[in-house]
Amino acid sequence: MLQVFTHANFPLMGRIRWAFFAFSTLANLLALYAIIFIGFNYGIDFAGGTAVQLKFNERPPVDAMRAALEKAGLGDISIQSIGAADDNEVLIRVEQRRPPAGAPEGEGGDVSARVLEALKNAEETGAATAGKIDLNMASVADLESWLAQRLPAPAAEAAAGGGMGAAAVAKTIATYRTEHGGLFKDLAELSAIPGLPAEAIRLLQSQATLGRFTLRSVEFVGPTAGKELLRDTGLAILGSVAGILIYVWFRFHKWVWGLTSIVALIHDVLIAAGAIALTGKEFSLPVVAALLTILGYSINDTIVVFDRIRENLRLYRDQDFVTVVNASVNQTLSRTVLTSFTVFIAVTALYLYGGDKLNPLSFCLLVGVVFGSYSSIFVASAMLVVIYNRFGAKLVKA
């Protein structure tokens, strides 16, 4: 039988607990320092503004892009590469600006349209004026109406054996493009698309162009929305903490148990949030989701341990409290470690393979899961022992 800990009997609640207290205090201080003095790298959800994600055919010319955007007078902008190096993706952020009085309100689309306009080089602008369609930027609808004006009528084509109208051609091309990373590198690729009529291929190869990039996503969050999201986040966290406190209090009858588990929980969330601030990972809505999950999950381990302590207190009434807690922690050590381990596996897979968007979320969960197990033993249970030693049985035992 495989077993992590058989007959574990570590003196975890002995003097060594002070070393862990010191470690926890330090970790929390570091987290607080990171949150207050380094601060969160607020994503667009909270900071507001516009974010445009582009994917290029080759290495994105970041410096040239920056110069072009500055020339367009878009104010504070930042450009960063995202994903793997050969993804050639960039994220352009334009800070929120109050529109000048009397001007139409700053709508996100206006900013993103201006970003795209500013990034076009002479060749791309020229092609657009000449009525050429950019196969990398065109939407299905654009492509369809462009083709409809240029392709022979479907009836005539059907007679000629083509049998594919503008709508079908546009859809086939768009589907191929979506399945191949969203970009064409060469117009010759069109010939490789199965089922496309030769007529359409000839037309596009002579009259379409390929821009250097395609639009992956546009996000705009106005100042009001950003503030509201931040407020909702605060409410969600407060509500969860209160709900869990009430539940644990009700479940274990003694408020001290509720208190220590809440301290453990705040400990975990604080460290996870601090890790986000320290690493400069984007603080976005999914990170909030991760923090709330940690709230719920961290208490999980604590409850497993507490349940066992309560059970053992009933079984061994004549035993010393510290001994009982120590025995309970040791008895549940295997599962505390194992349950976290399985979650840890799942989250690690997300962190490594889940892509860019899930990266901050899974990183936050990773930190939270590890500290969640740690704190149920070295914060929640150890605090019970400390309180027992200081204030006696009345507060702790039912």
Partner 1 sequence: MTFDLRWRLLLILGLILLCGFIIYPPADKIHLGLDLKGGIHMVMRVKTDDAVKAEIDLTTERVRAALGEKGLAPQQAAADGLDTIILSGLDPARLSEARDLLGRQFAQYRVTSDGTGRLRLQLSATETQAVRDSAVRQALETIRTRVDKFGVAEPTIQRQMSGNADRILVQLPGVEDPERVKDLIGSPAFLEWKLVKVPPGLTVEQFNPPDSPQALDQAFGGRLPEDVEALPQDRTTTDGRTMRVYWPVTKSSPITGNDLKNSRRSQDRFGAPAVSFLLTADAGQRFQELTRRNQGQLLAIVLDRKIISAPRINAVISDEGIIEGGNFTMESSEDLALKLRSGALPAGMEILEERTVGPSLGADSIRQGIVASVIGSIIVILFMLVYYRLSGINAVLALGLNVLILLAAMAYVHSTLTLPGIAGIALTVGMAVDANVLVFERIREELRLGRTVKAAIHAGFDKALSTIVDSNLTTLIAGIFLYAYGTGPVRGFAVTLNVGIMANLVTAVFVSRAIFDAALTLHPRVERLSI
Q: Which residues within the stretch 56-115 sit at the binding site for partner 1 (CB under 8 A)?
A: 105, 107-109, 112-113
**Which range touches partner 1 (CB under 8 A), out of 15-23, 25-33, 204-212, 291-299?**
291-299
Residue with tokens 């409290």: 321
Q: Which of residues 127-166 bind partner 1 (CB under 8 A)?
A: 139-142, 145
Residue with smaller CB distance to partner 1, 65 or 361: 361
3-state helix vs strand vs coil in the chain, percent to 5: 65, 10, 25
Residue with smaller CB distance to partner 1, 299 or 396: 299
Residue with smaller CB distance to partner 1, 17 or 310: 310
The reply on whether position 229 binds partner 1 by CB under 8 A is: yes
Q: Which of residues 327-356 bind partner 1 (CB under 8 A)?
A: 331, 334-335, 338-339, 341-350, 352-355
**Which range touches partner 1 (CB under 8 A), out of 93-101, 119-127, 171-179, 316-324?**
171-179
Among 63, 86, 179, 318, indicate the residue that binds partner 1 (CB under 8 A): 179
Contacts for 331 with CB less than 8 Å, ≥ 6 apart: 8, 308, 312
The reply on whether position 247 binds partner 1 by CB under 8 A is: yes
Q: Of 341, 336, 343, whose CA–CA distance to 378 is shortest?
A: 336
Residue with smaller CB distance to partner 1, 206 or 224: 224
CB 269 within 8 A of CB 294: yes
Closest approach of partner 1 to the CB of residue 389, in Å: 26
Number of residues that bind partner 1 (CB under 8 A): 88
Among 163, 280, 296, 392, indicate the residue that binds partner 1 (CB under 8 A): 296
Query: How far apart, in whole angstroms, are the C-alpha atoms of residue 108 and residue 126?
Result: 26
The full DSSP string for 160-212 is: TT----HHHHHHHHHHHHHHTTT--S-GGGGGGSTT--HHHHHHHHHHEE--S
Q: Which of residues 35-54 bind partner 1 (CB under 8 A)?
A: 53
Query: How far apart, in whole angstroms, are the C-alpha atoms of residue 65 and residue 4?
Result: 55
Query: How far apart, in whole angstroms, are the C-alpha atoms of residue 368 and residue 275?
Result: 10
Residue with smaller CB distance to partner 1, 112 or 209: 112
Closest approach of partner 1 to the CB of residue 6, in Å: 9
**Which range touches partner 1 (CB under 8 A), out of 177-185, 188-196, 314-322, 382-390?**
177-185
Residue type for 69, please?
L
Among 220, 283, 378, 388, indicate the residue that binds partner 1 (CB under 8 A): 220
Q: Of 195, 182, 209, whose CA–CA distance to 89 is shortest?
A: 182
Query: How far apart, in whole angstroms, are the C-alpha atoms of residue 358 and residue 83?
Result: 11
Closest approach of partner 1 to the CB of residue 138, in Å: 9
Closest approach of partner 1 to the CB of residue 23, in Å: 25
Residue type for 28, please?
N
Q: Which two tokens stand for residue 221?
A: 């969050």
